[in-house]
Amino acid sequence: MSVAERPAPPTDASGRGAAFASPEGGEELGVVEPLIFEASRAGRRAVRFPDASQRARDAADGQPPLPAWAQRGRPARLPEVSELDLLRHFNRLAHLNYAIDLNFYPLGSCTMKYNPKVNEWAARLPGFAESHPLDPDAIAQGSLALEWLLAELLKEISGFEAVSLQPAAGAQGELTGLLMTRAYHRSRGEGETRTKVLVPDSAHGTNPATASMVGYQAVTIRSNDHGGIDLEALRAALGADVAALMITNPSTLGIFEDQIDQVLEAVHDAGAIAYMDGANLNAILGRFRPGEAGFDVMHFNLHKTFSTPHGGGGPGAGPVGVSSRLEPFLPVPLPVLVNGDPDEVRRNAWAGRSTASARFALDHDRPQSIGKVRMHTGNFGMFVRAYTYIRSNGGAGLRTVSDDAVLAANYLRIGLADAYELPYDRICKHEVVFSGRRQKRQHGVTTLDIAKAILDAGVHPPTVYFPLIVEEALMIEPTETESVETLDAFIAIMRDIAHRAEHDPESVRRSPVSTPVGRLDEASAARRPDLRHAFEAGDV
Amino acid sequence: MTYSPHTDADRERMLAAIGVRSVDDLFADIPAAVRAQRFDLPTPLVEQQVRAELGRLASLNRIPEVSFLGAGAYRHLIPAVVWEVIGRSEFATSYTPYQPEVSQGTLQSIYEFQTLICELTGMEVATASHYDGATATAEAALMACRLTRRNRIAISSAVHPQIRRVLSTYCSGPGIEVVEVPADLAEGGSGLTSVAAVESVLDDSFACLVAQQPNFFGGVEPMGDLADAAHAAGAQLVAVVEPTSLSLLEAPGAYGADLVAAEGQPLGIPLSYGGPYVGLMAAPMSAVRQMPGRLVGGTHDAEGRRGYVLTLQAREQHIRREKAASNICTNQALCALAATAYLSAVGPQGLREVAELSTIQARHLAAELERAGLAERRFTAPYFAEVAMRLPDAERRHATLLEQGILAGHPLWRDYPELDGTLLLAATELTTDDDIDRLVTALAASR
């Protein structure tokens, strides 16, 4: 069935497409935007390609033909649409999305800061965008220089000895870090005995999942009453069978581990590796350098701290920084300076002077390397954006980033402290975690209801139900790029919802009513998976 | 420059509200012993300065005037409308669609992406994306281990060397053994995976065979025979494919592939020195609960409106933690959107034209090199859009041509010492007759 045969869905007062009877019968169905497949008409085209020349065809005919058995039978049913149909379809889909560029996005743990547009300009420069990953080093000096310089900047920011840009995302950075951890222990003859990775109960789910992928047993360490890691529990768990501690600092509660020096000492005394999940680096730029403090390895999330766009779930980039003990195990290849003095190259680059006399190369010859975790050198387009961002901000700007991010989170903490429970009532870093427990117990309004009511107020909700150790959690990360007026407006929205939860709970539970679709039936989506368009018989 | 909106007065007001004197007070919880001792970074730049800096770096790359380099990443036309779609900041600056009511744009586009990948591959279910083709392959092979409860993987040596390296890294985690099945690279050989070698290697300890179509050398593999050989040992076939080729070459679902992985870069994604790209993965529905990564499913709201959500999340790390199918969280959603827009823009006819032009120009190129007596095909098998050509003094001449702005493909001897003097040359729809003439002329002059 195609969309043209359907009546256009009338729109109700809320702006949603109103329900209308489906010709397939029975069930009421409304469609906000038809699938691109439903707009398809045989023979319609958007993009055309030139014909091969007769000369090319004749020459090609002399070569071995594609064998008949290898050729495709039934063609793929790709949509056939005009360019305008296509553009309108995706533009209408775009209108159904919330985005940083539309409004406040206080999603905890995700650092939804403004993504500067000059970064996009830089990533699309033809010199970068048309650079092939297997280009000989001689013609890829710009890409290599940028990678080398970005690694130098990340080293200085984090205090680590070396950086690999290769991991594609934070979770892959974790994988890289734990593979290096294991390689390190193996190099010391302890590969077989160190089998456990300690993970606090407030950790991101990726931490234990990564430990499993590397064949480690994840052991959970409880948090103490202040939201920090329980030092006694940690000491009790540490031993000759522990490969690493993975710790997020500041934690997912938005709290800096104020005993981090003792944590690091205990981990190292036990001969284990200290892994820092760098998801929350946006809180501590210029204040705490994990490598300098004694961590052995950390992943950066360039899509969080360094403003590369989240893209609806990616791409990101998850470079890792390491101490000298893990450096031999970094993934290959590594961009290296092969001709030139590193100090001079950095000085020239930072002063905006040419670095054309320096020579860079990819070093594949690293015998103790864990290998490759993905193809090529990483998500290069993200490196260009992150580099642009770091150079724009400079050291002073990056310090301001964290100062203002922490300032904003504490401002929200104070502004909402009497409206929602604050399980850990202390100075926070870049994010603050509230609990909707009171609203749930006293008024039957859950955190999910609150989240949906925030949507109706035109703002994206915070992260909800995470970290797992906070009941009905609301994890708010405002970031440094939001004005005090935006923060005040958000406080007013949250206070209004808390007020309504008390006095008119049904009005909260009804939300959302202003979004393109209402609450969706996730249970039936999982029970009867519908993961692709079902073409009608006769569609080709 | 910073992107902070705060005036000094704003900061004062916020500090006063919090009840602290200075922002330093908000960092008092960092133990003195571990506070940053240095932060020696460059001075801030304003936009015109940062543009000059990035422009300078970009200009240090020399983009060849003529390039036959492919080897897993290909220069294709990216229609302007595709750039337009992925540039929309409603897509680019949104997060993972955890709040479906305000993420229908991303969710529906992923549902369309999943459908397109199923159509191309002839499979029943496709994921929302992976980091790249190599990690998609590694995750598919590990999935085969879970599905078969076996812990050895066979992979053809005609699979992209970097995919093989990534697979080895991923398998080193859980301690899964990877066995390489040699392709026929002998003098006068086909350049294809040997079915006999597969049959002799595989036994009931193997979870899967990983083979690539077209293979790294551009050769057209007997995928049906490889599937049969894998199945005879109770193993699965993981087919690694090139998506534009699937408009001409048989769909993996039709020749018995159990799992499919691919690098999606050719579908509207710039070369960008290796990333971000997008990994594709497809499988039968019976395997869906062992799939790694995000899946989008259709459902409805209380009023019967059609909508889309992230679904079957019980497979994923944020729910299952250490028992998850993978640790993957962030994926390559915006690149998947580019692929969706690309496939919609070119349509079935356009994708076929891309593949036909690519394969015609690759043959044209090989024929011209042979006719001029400059190079010979190293392998006998039919090839798709990439061809391995041997020529005398290849390394020097490759370098000489590079100085003239001509990139004569990828040297194969680095990864395959037995392929001395052999270059892997790729063509796409952007390869012109003039490009081929320039290569032939320059190679002739470099003798």
> Looking at the partner chain, which of A143, A294, A533 has a beta carbon nearest the beta carbon of B115?
A533
> Looking at the partner chain, which of A107, A256, A408 has a beta carbon nearest the beta carbon of B95?
A107
- ipTM greater than cut 0.90: yes
Q: Determine if the peptide bond prior to A516 is cis (ω within 30°).
A: no
With beta carbons under 8 A apart, name residues in chain A contacting B298.
525, 530-531
> Looking at the partner chain, which of B34, B103, B160 has a beta carbon nearest the beta carbon of A97?
B103
- Report the C-alpha gap between A147 and A515 in whole angstroms: 42
- Indicate if the pLDDT at residue B113 is higher than 70: yes
- Report the C-alpha gap between A11 and A20 in whole angstroms: 10
**C-beta atoms of A460 and B172 within 8 A:** no
Q: What is the pLDDT of residues B83-110, one digit of tens each?
A: 999 999 999 999 999 999 999 999 999 9
Work out the percent of chain A whose per-residue pLDDT is above 90.
91
Tell me how close the Cα of B75 comes to any Cα of chain A, in angstroms. Answer: 8
Q: What is the pLDDT of residues A508-517, one digit of tens each?
A: 999 999 999 9
- Report the C-alpha gap between B291 and B142 in whole angstroms: 10
Task: Report how far apart, in Å, the C-alpha atoms of A235 and of each of A190, A265, A268, A441 are.
Answer: 20, 10, 11, 36
CA quadruple B129, B131, B133, B135: dihedral, nearest 10: -110
Between B33 and A7, where is the model more confident?
A: B33
> How confident is the model at residue A25, as a pLDDT?
37
- Report the C-alpha gap between A341 and B36 in whole angstroms: 26
- Report the C-alpha gap between A397 and B140 in whole angstroms: 43
For residue B24, what is the nearest residue in chain A, using CA coordinates? A403
> How confident is the model at residue A115, as a pLDDT?
97
> Boundaries of CATH 3.90.1150.10 in chain B?
66-77+347-445
**C-beta atoms of A287 and B35 within 8 A:** yes
A76 shares contact with chain B (CB less than 8 Å):
yes
B430 residue type, one letter: L
Q: Is residue A133 part of a domain?
A: no
B248 shares contact with chain A (CB less than 8 Å):
yes
Tokens 């993200």 appear where?
A382
**C-beta atoms of A481 and B165 within 8 A:** no
Between B64 and A536, where is the model more confident?
A: B64
With beta carbons under 8 A apart, name residues in chain A contacting B301.
517-521
- Indicate if the pLDDT at residue B134 is higher than 70: yes
Tell me how close the Cα of A443 comes to any Cα of chain B, in angstroms. Answer: 23
> How confident is the model at residue A414, as a pLDDT?
98
State how far Cα B165 lies from the chain centre.
14
Read off the CATH number of the domain in which A466 is found: 3.90.1150.10
Task: Report how far apart, in Å, the C-alpha atoms of A469 and of each of A114, A196, A504, B110, B408 are.
Answer: 29, 22, 29, 32, 58
- Indicate if the pLDDT at residue A332 is higher than 50: yes
Between A136 and A6, where is the model more confident?
A: A136
| Non-local CB neighbours of A112 within 8 Å, separated by 6+ positions | A100, A105, A106, A310, A460, A477, A479, B95
Tell me how close the Cα of A57 comes to any Cα of chain B, in angstroms. Answer: 6
- Report the C-alpha gap between A407 and A414 in whole angstroms: 11
Q: Is residue A45 part of a domain?
A: yes
For residue B362, what is the nearest residue in chain A, using CA coordinates? A60
**C-beta atoms of B345 and A35 within 8 A:** no
Summary mean pLDDT of chain A: 93
**C-beta atoms of B114 and A141 within 8 A:** no
With beta carbons under 8 A apart, name residues in chain A contacting B341.
86, 90
- Report the C-alpha gap between A97 and A115 in whole angstroms: 17
Q: What is the pLDDT of residues B203-261, one digit of tens each?
A: 999 999 999 999 999 999 999 999 999 999 999 999 999 999 999 999 999 999 999 99
Q: What is the pLDDT of residues A71-102, one digit of tens each?
A: 999 999 999 999 999 999 999 999 999 999 99
pLDDT grade for A64, boundaries at 50, 70 and 90:
very high
Domain end residue (candidates: A96, A122, A154)? A96
**C-beta atoms of A411 and B175 within 8 A:** no
A21 shares contact with chain B (CB less than 8 Å):
no
| Non-local CB neighbours of B431 within 8 Å, separated by 6+ positions | B68, B357, B358, B361, B362, B365
- Report the C-alpha gap between B212 and B43 in whole angstroms: 49
Please provide residue B375's backbone torsions phi and psi, each rounded to the nearest 5 degrees: -155, 160
A391 shares contact with chain B (CB less than 8 Å):
yes
- Indicate if the pLDDT at residue A2 is higher than 50: no
Instruction: Give the DSSP letter string of A190-211.
Output: -TTT--EEEEETTS-THHHHHH
Secondary structure string (H, E, C) spanning B329-357: CCCCHHHHHHHHHHHHHHHHHHHHHHHHH
> How confident is the model at residue A30, as a pLDDT?
84
> How confident is the model at residue A29, as a pLDDT?
64
Residues linked to residue B298 through DSSP beta bridges, in sequence order:
B308
Tell me how close the Cα of A218 comes to any Cα of chain B, in angstroms. Answer: 7
Instruction: With CA atoms as reference, report the closest residue to A418 among A488, A506, A499.
Output: A499
> Looking at the partner chain, which of B118, B330, B429 has a beta carbon nearest the beta carbon of A169?
B330
Please provide residue B263's backbone torsions phi and psi, each rounded to the nearest 5 degrees: -90, 125
E strand spans, B87-232: 125-126, 152-156, 177-181, 206-213
Tell me how close the Cα of B204 comes to any Cα of chain A, in angstroms. Answer: 23
> How confident is the model at residue A294, as a pLDDT?
98
> How confident is the model at residue B320, as a pLDDT?
81
> How confident is the model at residue B260, as a pLDDT?
98
Secondary structure string (H, E, C) spanning A231-279: HHHHHHHCCCCEEEEEEECCCCCCCCCCCHHHHHHHHHHCCCEEEEEHH
Question: Which tokens sit at B203?
Answer: 């036994």
Range of the domain at A483: 397-525
Instruction: With CA atoms as reference, report the closest residue to B213 among B257, B171, B169, B279.
Output: B257
Q: What is the pLDDT of residues A409-425, one digit of tens each?
A: 999 999 999 999 999 99
Q: Is residue A493 part of a domain?
A: yes
Residues in chain A: 540
pLDDT average, residue stretch B328-354: 95
pLDDT grade for A6, boundaries at 50, 70 and 90:
very low
State how far Cα B394 lies from the chain centre.
28
Tell me how close the Cα of A278 comes to any Cα of chain B, in angstroms. Answer: 15
> How confident is the model at residue A17, as a pLDDT?
38
> Looking at the partner chain, which of A47, A52, A75 has a beta carbon nearest the beta carbon of B348?
A75
pLDDT average, residue stretch A26-35: 75
- For residues A192 and A220, the answer to whether their CB atoms sit within 8 Å is no
B9 shares contact with chain A (CB less than 8 Å):
no
- Indicate if the pLDDT at residue B417 is higher than 70: yes
- For residues A140 and B58, the answer to whether their CB atoms sit within 8 Å is no
pLDDT grade for B322, boundaries at 50, 70 and 90:
confident
> Boundaries of CATH 3.40.640.10 in chain B?
80-342
Q: How many CB pairs under 8 A join A and B?
A: 756
**C-beta atoms of B366 and A28 within 8 A:** no
- Indicate if the pLDDT at residue A452 is higher than 80: yes
For residue B29, what is the nearest residue in chain A, using CA coordinates? A258
This prediction has a pTM of: 0.96
With beta carbons under 8 A apart, name residues in chain B contacting A401.
2, 4
Q: Is residue A479 part of a domain?
A: yes
pLDDT grade for A67, boundaries at 50, 70 and 90:
very high
pLDDT grade for A538, boundaries at 50, 70 and 90:
low
**C-beta atoms of B382 and A64 within 8 A:** yes
B365: helix, strand or coil: helix
CB-CB neighbours of A194 under 10 Å: 24
- Report the C-alpha gap between B61 and B63 in whole angstroms: 6
B337 shares contact with chain A (CB less than 8 Å):
yes
The sign of the torsion formed by the CA atoms of B393, B399, B405, B409 equals: positive
Instruction: Give the DSSP letter string of B58-82.
Output: HHTB---SEE---TT-------HHH
> How confident is the model at residue A24, as a pLDDT?
41
Please provide residue A276's backbone torsions phi and psi, each rounded to the nearest 5 degrees: -110, 125
Q: Is residue A357 part of a domain?
A: no
For residue A199, what is the nearest residue in chain B, using CA coordinates? B322
Task: Report how far apart, in Å, the C-alpha atoms of B253 and of each of A48, B260, B401 are.
Answer: 28, 8, 42
Work out whether strand B410-411 and strand A196-200 pair parallel, antiparallel, or are unpaired. unpaired
CATH class of B80-342: alpha beta
Work out the percent of chain A whose per-residue pLDDT is above 70.
94
B322: helix, strand or coil: helix
> How confident is the model at residue A536, as a pLDDT?
82
- Report the C-alpha gap between A329 and A322 in whole angstroms: 10
- Indicate if the pLDDT at residue A28 is higher than 70: no
pLDDT grade for B406, boundaries at 50, 70 and 90:
very high
Q: What is the pLDDT of residues A158-194, one digit of tens each?
A: 999 999 999 999 999 999 999 999 999 999 999 999 9
Q: Give me the number of domains chain A comprises.
A: 2
Q: Is residue A484 part of a domain?
A: yes
Burial (CB < 10 A; 0-12, 13-18, 19+), residue A67, is exposed
Task: Report how far apart, in Å, the C-alpha atoms of B294 and of each of A92, A333, B97, B317, B328 are.
Answer: 23, 29, 10, 10, 8
Q: What is the pLDDT of residues B249-298, one digit of tens each?
A: 999 999 999 999 999 999 999 999 999 999 999 999 999 999 999 999 99
Please provide residue B125's backbone torsions phi and psi, each rounded to the nearest 5 degrees: -145, 140
Instruction: With CA atoms as reference, report the closest residue to B416 among B154, B182, B168.
Output: B182
Summary mean pLDDT of chain B: 96
Question: Which tokens sit at A346?
Answer: 């950095």
- Indicate if the pLDDT at residue A13 is higher than 60: no
Q: What is the CATH number of domain B66-77+347-445?
A: 3.90.1150.10
Q: What is the pLDDT of residues A221-253, one digit of tens each?
A: 999 988 889 999 999 999 999 999 999 999 999
A499 shares contact with chain B (CB less than 8 Å):
no
Work out whether strand A432-435 and strand B406-407 pair parallel, antiparallel, or are unpaired. unpaired
B411: helix, strand or coil: strand
Instruction: With CA atoms as reference, report the closest residue to A188 among A234, A243, A239, A247.
Output: A243
- CB neighbour burial string for B235-258, b if at least 16 within 10 angstroms, e if fewer: bbbbbbbbbbbbbbbbbbbebbbb
**C-beta atoms of B334 and A515 within 8 A:** no
> Looking at the partner chain, which of A350, A384, A407 has a beta carbon nearest the beta carbon of B23?
A407
Work out the percent of chain B whose per-residue pLDDT is above 90.
94
Question: Which tokens sit at A423?
Answer: 């399980």
